[in-house]
């Protein structure tokens, strides 16, 4: 980073990431924190007269943000980013390529119908990534409204070509590369297989300042569950790394690749872990020619977070586990600590009137050594009016004795030593994999694969894709049946079992084919959901119009007993309401592993299931 004066050749870019709009929006104390801080970020952009704002993913906390969250976001963008201030940079690249997934494939400030004063460029994160039959994400709504430019999206699992947005201001040229969040293992494998290419401008490729925005694990969460910095090309000048919440915004040089990495961190505390306790900042990046300067801007509206650890075994003079009154002594000690943290928070707040009143407080108590935890609920009552998170001020944990195990087994001790709430995230597919690795032989999968099942369960949990598991089961079952028919296996159970086992092993080894399988099954699930939605609305309309008639294929037995008594108008209304709800009920049953009979009954009103589509149980 070099000091220089701003002029007509200098880009000024406000950099932020992981805003998580809508996090805890229903919390009476913390509900508006994300919206207030987002306004502050855009206020800094306006005050500093930046050329554009660059966001590194996870603008929204939920994949399907609430109406309130979307409304608040639109309000902020319209308030701060629209106006008459002229834009001083131009785009040289082919925008039809840069914004190919947009219905309006050009940058918003060049749209004649819009008056943009501060363009916002953003990639998507893992919280707000594209899902559903049309593969849309919340950013696409903002993009369609002309308030944000969504870039860096890639749909292929075979090859990723990252084409930069080429920007020029005076004599300074920036090549802006972006890559929205992709599952870490998949991206890791694609980097290893040389399937990720960063395209460079043909003319004067060394005269460009290369800026890359990425949203992946930077710290190692597993063998391939992160992206090592050395995977990235060495011609990059600066990497803006989203997803990691700890603020390390000052650019740090990678000694191997020689580029700089800036990790802005989140602008809201979403987990009570040490990384989140670091003061939150956004960055004002100045770029002139090939030189850069990152100016840190402390965020004033972020709720303060204070954290301390206590190890009871380290205080033998104060706490003796054999003393009957030791629990009261521990509680009094913890109260003293919390009061000290509250005093520190109050002192810090005095110099900053914009900071929220109630701080976040976390006291982690290691009670290893024969101690007993006290009632957290009773303890929290004392701080209801003083602390923003009274219910989880205290966190008790204990280091378990680690038993020696074979290397092949999972070391669960390692997993428990750091509690999940303290920043270690166990993903759904990891839990599925662990379950089957440690399960008894009689409950091991013999036809489905752990990887496919893990992906399907994750889609079901994270993206609310109700048919994901059922469609994966159907897809893998059909594929195995086709294989057995082609091999013309004798109808002997042992031979069939052996062939199925071999077929499953071959698919497990071919990870690309398995990825393709999962993707195909998820596409089917999304298409299935779209069909269901159409059928449900059609059916509900019919039932509401014709209140006296019953839908074909339905009988009195299908109606709840409370509804079957009445006739005429009352009965008709109940039938209409039932028509609207039964698919939701049916789909949630399917997700929980319902019997084929239940599924068939719950969806019978709307569609006939062909006999050839075998049910999950079959």
**Are 432 and 448 in contact, with CB atoms under 8 Å apart?**
no
Q: Which two tokens stand for residue 607?
A: 């569609």
Catalytic residue of the set 20, 44, 124, 127: 127
Q: Read off the DSSP letter of residue 314.
A: G
- End-to-end CA, the chain: 64
Distance (Å, whole) CA 155 – CA 333: 54
Q: In what order do the strands lie in the sheet with 260-263?
A: 90-91, 165-169, 172-179, 209-215, 238-242, 260-263, 248-253
Residue 377 burial (CB count, 10 A): 9
Distance (Å, whole) CA 427 – CA 225: 11
**Are 603 and 583 in contact, with CB atoms under 8 Å apart?**
yes
Distance (Å, whole) CA 356 – CA 369: 38
Q: Which two tokens stand for residue 330?
A: 């521990």
Q: Which of 223, 227, 155 is nearest to 184 (CA)?
A: 227
Q: Is 127 a catalytic residue?
A: yes
Q: Which of 126, 136, 98, 147 is nearest to 18 (CA)?
A: 126
- In this structure, the strands spanning 281-288 and 10-16 are antiparallel
Q: Which of 66, 83, 62, 68 is nearest to 19 (CA)?
A: 62
Q: Read off the DSSP letter of residue 375.
A: -
**Are 217 and 241 in contact, with CB atoms under 8 Å apart?**
no
Active site residues: 127
């Amino acid at each position: 980073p070099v000091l220089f004066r701003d002029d007509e050749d200098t880009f000024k870019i406000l950099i932020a990431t992981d805003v998580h709009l809508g996090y805890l929006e229903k919390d009476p104390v913390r509900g508006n924190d994300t919206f207030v801080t987002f306004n502050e970020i855009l206020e800094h952009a306006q005050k500093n007269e930046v050329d554009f704002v660059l966001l590194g993913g996870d603008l929204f906390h939920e994949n399907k943000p609430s109406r309130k969250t979307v409304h608040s976001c639109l309000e902020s963008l319209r308030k701060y980013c629209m106006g008459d201030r002229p834009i001083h940079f131009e785009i040289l690249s082919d925008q039809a390529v840069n914004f190919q997934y947009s219905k309006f494939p050009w940058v918003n400030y060049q749209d004649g119908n819009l008056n943009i004063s501060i363009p916002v460029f953003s990639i998507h994160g893992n919280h707000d990534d594209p899902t559903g039959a049309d593969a849309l994400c919340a950013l696409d709504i903002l993009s369609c409204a002309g308030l944000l430019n969504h870039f860096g999206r890639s749909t292929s699992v075979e090859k990723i070509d990252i084409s930069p947005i080429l920007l020029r201001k005076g004599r300074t040229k920036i090549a802006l590369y972006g890559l929205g969040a992709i599952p870490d293992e998949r991206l890791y494998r694609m980097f290893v297989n040389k399937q990720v290419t960063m395209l460079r401008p043909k003319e004067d490729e060394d005269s460009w300042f290369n800026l890359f925005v990425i949203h992946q694990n930077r710290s190692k969460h597993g063998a391939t569950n992160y992206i090592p910095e050395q995977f990235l090309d060495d011609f990059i000048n600066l990497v803006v790394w989203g997803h990691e919440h700890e603020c390390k915004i000052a650019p740090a040089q990678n000694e191997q690749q020689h580029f700089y990495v800036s990790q802005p961190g989140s602008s809201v505390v979403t987990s009570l872990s040490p990384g989140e306790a670091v003061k939150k900042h956004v960055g004002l990046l100045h770029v002139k020619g090939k030189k850069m300067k990152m100016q840190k801007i402390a965020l004033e509206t972020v709720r303060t977070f204070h954290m301390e650890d206590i190890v009871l075994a380290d205080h033998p003079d104060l706490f003796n586990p054999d003393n009957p009154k030791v629990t009261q002594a521990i509680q009094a000690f913890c109260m003293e600590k919390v009061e000290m943290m509250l005093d520190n928070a109050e002192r810090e707040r005095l110099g900053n009137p914009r900071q929220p009143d109630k701080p976040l407080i976390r006291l982690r108590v290691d009670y290893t050594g024969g101690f007993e935890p006290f009632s957290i609920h009773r303890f929290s009552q004392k701080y209801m009016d003083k602390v923003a998170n009274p219910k989880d001020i205290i966190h008790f944990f204990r280091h378990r004795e680690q038993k020696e195990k074979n290397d092949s087994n999972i070391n669960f001790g390692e997993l428990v030593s750091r509690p999940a709430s303290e920043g270690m995230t166990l993903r759904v597919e990891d839990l599925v994999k662990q379950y089957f690795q440690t399960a008894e032989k009689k409950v091991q999968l013999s036809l489905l694969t752990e990887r496919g099942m893990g992906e399907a369960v994750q889609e079901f949990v994270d993206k609310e894709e109700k048919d994901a598991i059922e469609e994966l089961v159907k897809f893998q079952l059909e594929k195995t049946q086709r294989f057995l028919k082609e091999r013309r296996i004798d109808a002997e159970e042992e031979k069939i079992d052996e062939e199925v086992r071999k077929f499953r092993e071959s698919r497990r080894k071919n990870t690309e084919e398995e990825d393709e399988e999962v993707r195909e099954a998820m596409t089917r699930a999304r298409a299935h959901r779209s069909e269901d939605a159409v059928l449900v609305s059609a059916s509900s309309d019919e039932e509401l119009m014709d209140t006296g008639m019953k839908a074909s294929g339905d009988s009195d037995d299908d109606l709840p007993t409370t509804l079957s008594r009445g006739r005429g108008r009352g009965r008709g209304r109940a039938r209409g309401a039932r028509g609207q709800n039964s698919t939701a009920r049916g789909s949630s049953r399917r997700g929980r592993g319902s019997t084929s009979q239940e599924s068939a009954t719950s969806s019978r009103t709307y569609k006939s299931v062909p006999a050839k589509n075998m049910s999950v149980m079959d």
